[in-house]
Structure formats: C-alpha cells, structure tokens
Amino acid sequence: MRALNQSLSVAIRYSVHFTEDLFAPDNLRLRKVVGHGRRHLNRLLCVVDRGACTHRADLPARIQNYCVRHRDVLDLVCAPILVPGGERVKSTPTYVARIQEAVHRHGLCRHSYILAIGGGAVLDMTGFAAATAHRGIRLVRIPTTVLSQNDVAVGVKNSVNAFNKKNFLGTFAPPYAVVNDSTFLETLSDRDWRAGTSEAVKVSLVRDPVFFRFLEHNAQAIAGRSMNAMAYLIRRCAQLHMEHMAEGNDPFETGSSRPLDFGHWAAHKLEQLTRFRLRHGEAVAIGVALDSTYSMRIGLLSETDWRRILGLLSQLGFQLRVPRRFQRLHGRDNPDSLEHGLTEFREHLGGELTILLLKGIGSGIEVHQIDDRILAESIAILDRAQ
C-alpha cells in the first residue's frame, strides 16, 4: 500500500518589546502585551527569580499591585512564585513540578499566561514547565540580566539539566512575547553586567563586523556601565539572534549546524567542570577566545583579527585563560576533560561534529574536525597571551 505523506507548516510570531520600569502602575506595556487591547480578563501565573529581588525586595509586591491596578485585564491567580536564579534552578526538578502544580491547582488553560521574570536559567526552566503543561501555556519572558535580554529570551528554546548534562531536557517552543525592561540592569553586579556582553561579541564575530567595531569603540563605555551603550548592545544582539533564526530555515535545529554556538562547546564544558562557578557569559568569553585562537593557529584567522578579538574581550573585563586545572587534556572520552565538551556537543546536536571557526571578523566557517594537539597548543597560546 502507498504511504500517506503529511506536509504542514507552523507559523511562529512573537515580538520583543523594550520598556523602562515595567511594573510602574501607569506603564501600559504589559497590559497591552497580555490583553492585546481588549477588555477581557486574562489569567496569569508569575515566576520570579530571587536574584532579581536582591536589590528590589518590593518586586513581588509591585507585580501584585500592577495586576490589581489593571484588574480588568490581568488576573494574577496567586502570589508570584519565587525561585532561585542560576543553574541550580535548572538542575532541581522540583521547580518545574511546582509551576506545573500551580497550573493545575489554579486551573490555568492554554490561553492563560505564565510570566517568567529573571535571568536565563529561570527563563529556561519556567519555559520548560510552561511548554509542557497542557502542551503549552503562553509564556511571556521578562529577562532581567544582560545575557537573558540579548540572547536567551529571544530564542525558541527552553531546557533543564538532567543526568549532570546541561540542557538535557527541553523543547522548542517560542515565547508568546518578550519584554525587556532596562531598569532591571541598573542594579546588576558588575560581574553580571559584564557577563552578558560576551554573547554580543560572539554574534558580532559570526555575523556583523560593523557591530564588532561598535563594541570596540564602546568597550570602555560598556565596561563603565553606560546604559545608552548597553541598550544598543542588547537591541542589536537580540536582533542579530532573531535574524539568524529566521534566515536559517531550521529554527528547531533538525540539522547539525549551529553557528550561533561559536565557542560554546568549551563554554558549556567549562561551566560544568567549574560546577557553574564560571558564569555562562564568562565561559563563553573563554570559549570564543579559545576557538578564535585555534582559528588563528591553523591559519584561518589573521593574527591582527585575533588580537582585536582578545583585546575587545579583555577591555570588556573578561579573563580569557582556560582555568589551569583544565588545561591538560585527557582525551575525548574522559568526562573530566575539557575536550569531552566536543563529544557532548556532537552528541547533543547529533550527526557529525560541526564546529564553527573564524575566517575573519564577521565571517565563520564550519569544520568537522578539531585536532587535539592544536587545541592543546591553542590553550597554551591563550594562557600566554594575557
């Protein structure tokens, strides 16, 4: 009997909004995003990163007040659920279960909303809970860190960790909307402010030399906490990520190629090896520096461009050495070894190992082999370069 062939197309649309002081009672942005202009009550559940409350203890109360003020449109079904920030929230299954239990208890439906307010880890974890309850409750991401505003929040992925593997469980699920509130950035520690900028360097290296020059010219202003420079960095970085997804024609990553993950095989592994004492952005800075060095070492990238890349990352305040105790390689099959990250990267994406290297600033090329000896040399070169 002949086979039956199915061919479907799923349209995905969402917007990334920019505002200041989102929960000021007269800021209409959230009201508009959720209510899309209609006077109709919408049920909301709210998950808040404790990290976002460190310098603004009144955040949960302000969210509640905002919903009371706009109670003709926003029906907050219970007090905001507070969860820890950082990888811990992705590694402990109880947080996902707690959100799903609240969806059940308050009878949220697929047309209800979950607001995820926090850094990348909280957005990832909440997104996984939202995507799987009723096969998907509308998720409004409200990222509160540089990294989550310019990168995590604009994508179509969510995840939690399992079996000691980062992002082992997750789904592809676009957000209903993203709202970037620059006010959250004011109270970030210098470390968190800086950590998010390495993804901007990365995306500029892969896609946009003009943006790289902007970052070079503004590195000091960014490091000195200029909100104007940071606002442009975030917007442009988010835009480049979104354009890449739309152009790539493979938003759900059925292939093995992932050029936006430049430097990430090492970054993911370094986060894990340091038990997340390195922030994701800090690990990305090292990963980008390492793969740039490898690109230079095999003659793909000019030494001038390599120096510019390392210079920019240093000016932004990053430490670029691979931590000493992970500099020695022990083989791709050894999970305690940095280069096991190549094994994990291939395993996660599937198929052939596919790594992006640089031919120049703004221009990448995919390779399918990494030479461990040259990798070891690149680690040593990077160690001496700083």
Partners of 82 in beta bridges? 48
Angle at 78 between CA 44 and CA 154, to 5 degrees: 35
* 17 is a contact residue toward a copy of itself (CB under 8 A): yes
Give the nearer residue to a copy of itself in terms of CB position, either 17 or 50. 17
Give the nearer residue to a copy of itself in terms of CB position, either 50 or 165. 165
* 256 is a contact residue toward a copy of itself (CB under 8 A): yes
Least distance from a copy of itself to the Cβ atom of residue 208, Å: 15
Among positions 24, 77, 169, 367, the unique one binding a copy of itself when judged by CB under 8 A:
169
Q: Is the Cα torsion angle 89, 270, 157, 55 positive or negative in sign?
A: positive
Among positions 226, 335, 348, 363, the unique one binding a copy of itself when judged by CB under 8 A:
348
Question: DSSP state, 2?
Answer: P
* 35 is a contact residue toward a copy of itself (CB under 8 A): no
Size of the site for a copy of itself (CB under 8 A): 66
Among positions 210, 350, 359, 368, the unique one binding a copy of itself when judged by CB under 8 A:
350
* 109 is a contact residue toward a copy of itself (CB under 8 A): yes
Among positions 66, 83, 100, 355, the unique one binding a copy of itself when judged by CB under 8 A:
100
Contacts with 58 (C-beta within 8 Å, 6 or more apart), sequence order: none
* 369 is a contact residue toward a copy of itself (CB under 8 A): no
* 168 is a contact residue toward a copy of itself (CB under 8 A): yes
Contacts with 107 (C-beta within 8 Å, 6 or more apart), sequence order: none
Question: From residue 221, how far is each of 25, 210, 327 by CA, in Å?
Answer: 32, 17, 33
Tell which positions 119-138 bind a copy of itself, by CB under 8 A.
131-136
* 186 is a contact residue toward a copy of itself (CB under 8 A): no
Describe the crossing of helices 303-315 and 209-223 by its angle, rounded to 10 degrees: 30
* 5 is a contact residue toward a copy of itself (CB under 8 A): yes
* 312 is a contact residue toward a copy of itself (CB under 8 A): no
Site mask for a copy of itself (CB under 8 A), range 138-157, x = bound:
----------------x-xx
* Both structure tokens of 280: 């994701």
Least distance from a copy of itself to the Cβ atom of residue 302, Å: 33
* 77 is a contact residue toward a copy of itself (CB under 8 A): no
CB-based contact 121:86 (threshold 8 Å): yes
Distance CA 116, CA 295 (A): 38
- In the chain, the amino acid numbered 340 is H
Least distance from a copy of itself to the Cβ atom of residue 272, Å: 14
Among positions 351, 366, 371, 372, the unique one binding a copy of itself when judged by CB under 8 A:
351
Give the nearer residue to a copy of itself in terms of CB position, either 5 or 369. 5
Question: Of how many residues is the chain composed?
Answer: 386
Distance CA 117, CA 115 (A): 6
Among positions 15, 54, 187, 189, the unique one binding a copy of itself when judged by CB under 8 A:
15
Residue whose entry in the numeric block shows the structure tokens 């607001």: 115
Half-sphere exposure of 161 (CA within 13 A, CB side): 18
* 38 is a contact residue toward a copy of itself (CB under 8 A): no
* Both structure tokens of 9: 């197309």
Judged by CB under 8 A, the stretch of 186-194, 243-251, 290-298, 300-308 that binds a copy of itself is 243-251
Give the nearer residue to a copy of itself in terms of CB position, either 18 or 213. 18
Judged by CB under 8 A, the stretch of 2-10, 74-82, 217-225, 319-327 that binds a copy of itself is 2-10
Residue 6 CA to its chain's centroid (Å): 33
Describe the crossing of helices 264-273 and 340-349 by its angle, rounded to 10 degrees: 120
Q: What is the dihedral of CA 303, 307, 313, 315, to 10 degrees?
A: -170
Q: Is the Cα torsion angle 277, 283, 285, 287 positive or negative in sign?
A: positive
Residues that bind a copy of itself (CB under 8 A): 1-18, 100-101, 104, 107-112, 131-136, 154, 156-157, 159, 162-163, 165, 167-174, 231, 235, 238-239, 242, 245-246, 251-254, 256, 346-351
